[in-house]
């Protein structure tokens, strides 16, 4: 799969980092695709720039009622996201995926 195009930068080393601006950069570019269990956020990792997708299982939360607890997440609740790109990043531990970048997004639930 090696083409004539040289990558502009070598792949980033796997590193568990976050930064201000990751969430906003991701949110600005991502698309939320509903599926049976919730939504899949499809976008681009703000750190490594690779395509990634991240499933959010919102239906479980909505259908789960724990006695004596607030069952539903509040609108705007933060969800942790991490890079799940399929590209290789040096020094990535076995079983991990992506480049290690992580950030929180706020889910705003559409009224239904
Ligand atoms: Zn990547
Ligand atoms: Zn990444």
pLDDT of amino acid 110: 56
- Tallying the residues shown for the chain, one arrives at 112
From the CA of 88, which ligand is nearest? Answer: 1
Structural tokens at position 4: 């004539």
- Going from N- to C-terminal start, the domains of the chain cover 22-61+73-106
Residue with tokens 């705007």: 76
83 or 5, higher pLDDT: 83
Q: Is 39 helix (H, G, I), strand (E, B) or coil?
A: strand
Beta-carbon contacts of residue 44 (< 8 Å; ≥ 6 apart): 26, 29, 30, 50, 51, 52
- pLDDT tens-digit profile of 66-106? 555 455 555 667 889 999 999 999 999 999 999 999 999 87
The closest of 15, 11, 21 to 103, measured between CA atoms, is 21
Position 93 scores a pLDDT of 96
Q: Which residues surround the ion ligand 1 when the cut-off is CB under 5 Å?
A: 48, 50, 85, 87, 99
pLDDT digits (tens, 9 = 90+) for 7-58: 566 779 999 999 999 999 999 999 989 988 888 999 999 999 999 999 988 7
Ligand nearest to the CA of 18: 2
């Amino acid at each position: 799969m090696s083409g004539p195009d040289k990558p502009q930068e070598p792949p980033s080393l796997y590193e568990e980092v976050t930064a201000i601006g990751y969430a906003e950069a991701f949110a600005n570019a991502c698309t939320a695709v509903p599926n049976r269990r919730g939504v899949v956020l499809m976008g681009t990792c703000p750190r490594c720039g690779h395509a990634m997708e991240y499933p959010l299982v919102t239906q479980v939360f909505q259908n789960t009622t724990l006695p004596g607890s607030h069952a539903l997440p509040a609108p705007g609740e933060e969800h942790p996201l991490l890079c799940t790109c399929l590209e290789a990043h040096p020094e990535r531990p076995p079983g991990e995926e992506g480049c290690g970048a992580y950030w929180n997004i706020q889910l705003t639930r559409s009224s239904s």
